[in-house]
Structure 1
Amino acid sequence: MNAEDLEDTLRRLAIVPVIEIEYADDAIPLGRTLVEAGLPIAEVTFRTDAAAEAIARMVENVPGLLVGAGTVLSEEDVDAAADAGAHFIVSPGLNAAVVRRARERFVPIIPGVTSPTEIEAARSLGLRLLKLFPAEAIGGIRLVRALSAPYPDVSFMPTGGITPETVTAWLGQPSVVACGGSWIATRDAVAGRRWEEIRTNAAQAAELAADAIRSHAASS
């Protein structure tokens, strides 16, 4: 998958479950739950020791699921994600060495930014799809609108503090490709194997995404 294909897929799905998996054995049932709910994407964060193995199991055993590696902080993390078969990489900040390593491993990367300076640094690396993080804490929708004015060629995936109540407004912004959401499959829900709860949350998120996409299409 290249960067253009990734952006197209993110625009179509619009909401990305951001997930911490403590036990790799939970990866396959979780991935299948997301696919069955109509939200076939997962960003598995490198915040637990099980992350790489969880990604590998999802990639190998859950057809149709787009699997990303999140919280990628180092070149070693990039290698672990790529070796696990991750389809894309997300990082909370902009690290040129991490970007270069992702390119060497042929995995598209979405690094995090918070300011014009970081956006310009990302653009100098040839990146046009960026994570806005932590989205709500650093200024919310007002910030993404302000940043989009001087950088019309940049698209954003806001993550951090976004909820079911606010995600539709975020997705209504022309520069927003998709939003990351940690409410869909919380760490407690995954650890407790509450698959029906996660299925319900994912199905509701998929419906919110579809409504936002229809609304945007109607107004454009």
Structure 2
Amino acid sequence: MDFYNSALGVSTQASSSLSSAAKHSCCFAHPHPNFHFSKLRQHAALVTALPLCRNRHFSRHSVVESRNPSLGIVSAVGERLCNGDVRNHGSSTSDSNDGDDDVAAFFARKATFERIQSSGIVACLRSDNEEVALNAGRAALNGGVSLEVTMRTPGAAQVISKLVEEYPSATIGAGTVLTQEDAERAKEAGASFLMSPVANKDLIEAHCRSEVLFVPGVMSPSEILQARRWGASCLKLYPVSLVGGMEFVKLLKRLHPSMPIIPANGISLDVVEGYLQAGSTAVVASDAIFNKSSLARHDYAVISQQSKIAAAMGSETTRGDTSTLKYTRGGLRGRAGT
């Protein structure tokens, strides 16, 4: 458990005066002398330590129940994660502010966010035909991008469900999510993220503690501020082509360098590199990958090739984005990650 205790030093600065309180703190096989922090800071440490936890660098027997009942939640979360207990997509199973559910859901959202960030490309699929959408989605995923299936596509939930089954390691979500019904259908199908063209207060608040990442659409600084106040941790800048394009992204990143932004609308492959260098977490590419003529001709080879080109741009471009997902709990925001 030394790596976990080291994570505490990364995630927060502890005062040396806390050493005397160590015997009342949450203890492990190799206790850290300054392990007595607020639950929020311990959650931040858990975020830092999670990748190693999932790689089974220690067993559940390394986690010892806290001597302080008020801190026992950290031990419970750690033990459950060590056991590989990952819940299905959807909202929290509890309406309470239970830290266990809250932190576990955050881990799931953060993992999805980091996959999207690493990919750099979200291919947005729209089609008037379910079978065409399914085949086009396969072609795009074979190219290596993240995929968004709009809920306006006939049989969208069935398409998502089938693709999630066929590509279990891919990042697949739903777009044009406008209502709670849309959100529930997409989550039941297995979507790991939801995107919306608008900032819907009810949807944002409903997903603050969900395991599914919700990305609302915003267009102005005022909408950005409001969405953040409601609890949004990642934003879709839409329609970016109508509000200043790449220059607007640069301006927003100067004002809010730690804010995750995903521009969408009218982004062609020749400007993907510029958007990523400007600080975008990722970009949404629609017609650039799913060209209307390719869809009409069922030319899935072209779609796959465009997807490969986009994926290469996403992986090879030097990024200007240093943002991370923000941890929200009970309406309060705190930084999780670095």
Which TM class, normalised by the smaller chain length? Answer: 0.7 to 0.9
Offset at residue 191 of structure 1 (A): 4.8
Deviations 1:7-58 (A, max 9, x none): 211121001110013333345433432333232x210011223212111111
Other structure's SS at 1:18 match: strand
Q: 1:126 to 1:98 in 2, by over 3 A?
A: closer
**Superposition deviation, residue 112 in structure 1:** 0.8
Q: Percent identity?
A: 31
* Superposition map of 1:131-150 within 5 A: 131-150=236-255
Deviation at 1:103, TM superposition (A): 4.4
Question: 2:87 maps to which residue?
Answer: none
Partner-residue secondary structure (3-state), 2:124: strand
CA distance in 1, matches of 2:169, 2:135: 14
Say which of 124, 127, 147 aligns to 1:21. Answer: 127
Over the residues paired in the alignment, what is the CA RMSD in angstroms?
A: 2.0
Gaps in structure 1 of 5+ consecutive residues: none
Q: Helix, strand or coil: the match of 1:136?
A: helix
Contact 1:102–1:108 at 8 Å: present in 2 too?
Answer: yes
Instruction: Count matched residues.
Output: 213
The answer to whether the 8 Å contact 2:176/2:195 transfers is: yes
**Partner of 1:184 in structure 2?**
289
Q: CA deviation at 1:70?
A: 0.2
Residue 153 (structure 2) aligned to one of 48, 53, 58: 48
Aligned to 1:34: 140
Pair member with larger Rg: 2
Corresponding residue to 1:10 among 116, 121, 142: 116
Cα deviation code 1:79-129 (max 9, x no counterpart): 111111111000001001122334465321011111111111121123231
- Report Cα offsets for 1:131-172 as digits up to 9, x if no partner: 000111111111112222332331100000110111111010
1:2-151 aligned within 5 A: 2-39=108-145, 41-103=146-208, 106-151=211-256
Q: Residue 149 of structure 1 aligns to a residue in which SS?
A: helix
Distance, in Å, in 2 between the alignment partners of 1:2 and 1:172 is 27
Partner Cα separation in structure 2 for residue 22 and residue 49 of structure 1: 6
Unaligned runs of 5+ in 2: 1-106, 321-338
Question: Does the 8 Å contact 1:78/1:101 carry over to 2?
Answer: no
Q: Residue 138 of structure 2 aligns to a residue in which SS?
A: helix
TM-score (norm 2): 0.59
- The equivalent of 1:164 in structure 2 is 269
Distance 2:167 2:136 in 1: 9
d(CA) in 2 for partners of 1:84, 1:197: 27
- State the 4+ residue runs in structure 1 displaced beyond 6 angstroms: none
Q: Is the 8 Å Cα contact of residues 18 and 43 (structure 1) preserved in structure 2?
A: yes
Amino acid at match of 1:216: R
Q: Which residue of 319, 330, 334 maps to 1:216?
A: 319
Aligned runs of 1:193-204 on 2, under 5 Å? Answer: 193-204=298-309
Deviates more, 1:85-94 or 1:1-10: 1-10
CA contact (8 A) 2:109 2:211 kept: no
Does the aligned pair in 1 maintain the 2:148–2:174 contact within 8 Å? yes
Using the size of structure 1 for normalisation, the TM-score is 0.88
Higher relative contact order (CA 8 A, sep 6+): 1
